[in-house]
Amino acid sequence: MPAIFPRWTNHIPVVAGLLAPLVGAGLIFAVWYWFSPKFTDVGYRPKQPVPYSHRLHVSDVGLDCRYCHNTVERAAHAAVPPAATCMNCHSQVKSTSPRLEKVRESYNTGAPIQWVRVHQLPDYVYFDHRPHVAAGVGCASCHGRVDLEDVVELKEPLSMSWCLDCHRNPEPNLRPLDQVTNMAWDPAEHDYDPNKDPMRKRKVQPPTHCSGCHR
């Protein structure tokens, strides 16, 4: 009796069985790599309701990030400051400037200024500033040189591959723990070895398993 299928087809199920997981893994990789906003969102620079400049307040006036984003070390979110923080100075400095009208209004009515969010992860991603700041990852490593910007711009894609690139090899992105808000401190220019830093009590181990960031 003639064979309907040639003999070699007997191997198809085995070969297909071996290839399927590889193809599956490849697809997952392709989906998160190519459909992550990496290639679209960087450069996002919305117009803000008040022309607040980080360049002026950080580089010229000399304020530390934590003067305004004071929850960054103790909460998941780095709170954007209320008008009262601005009024510490602007009740005297430029106190009648029309550019500060909305700040005065917010201070007097208590209604918050409607700042437009620049960095925003999807709800299904868990992110917390605290462990990053505590491990000595600088603000500049994730936000770029905010201190040189008049308008904050999205510098990094905030995609899964971006997070994982660092989580798999964090050491080149670490700095001394007291340099986190020093925007001019560039890890590439220093020969810093976190494993020899006596201020560190343990080796950092960022999660790379799915439930680390999807809880």
Site for ligand HEC in 116-155 (CB under 6 A): 117-122, 125-129, 131-133, 135, 137, 139, 141-143, 146-147, 152
Q: How far apart (Å, rounded) are the C-alpha atoms in residues 15 and 2?
A: 24
For ligand HEC, the binding residues in 11-30 under the rule CB under 6 A are: none
Q: Is 99 helix (H, G, I), strand (E, B) or coil?
A: helix
Q: Is 194 in the site for ligand HEC (CB under 6 A)?
A: no
Q: Is 164 in the site for ligand HEC (CB under 6 A)?
A: yes
Candidate ranges 7-15, 16-24, 43-51, 185-193; the one touching ligand HEC (CB under 6 A): 43-51
Among 107, 159, 175, 194, binds ligand HEC (CB under 6 A): 159
Candidate ranges 5-13, 16-24, 33-41, 190-198; the one touching ligand HEC (CB under 6 A): 33-41
Q: How far apart (Å, rounded) are the C-alpha atoms in residues 126 and 71?
A: 17
Helices (runs of H) and strands (runs of E) counted in the chain: 9, 0
Candidate ranges 9-17, 82-90, 104-112, 191-199; the one touching ligand HEC (CB under 6 A): 82-90
Q: Are 194 and 204 in contact (CB under 8 A)?
A: yes
Taking Cα atoms as reference points, which of 121, 127, 210, 160 lies closest to residue 35? 160
What letter does residue 50 receive in the DSSP assignment? S
Among 106, 107, 175, 180, binds ligand HEC (CB under 6 A): 180
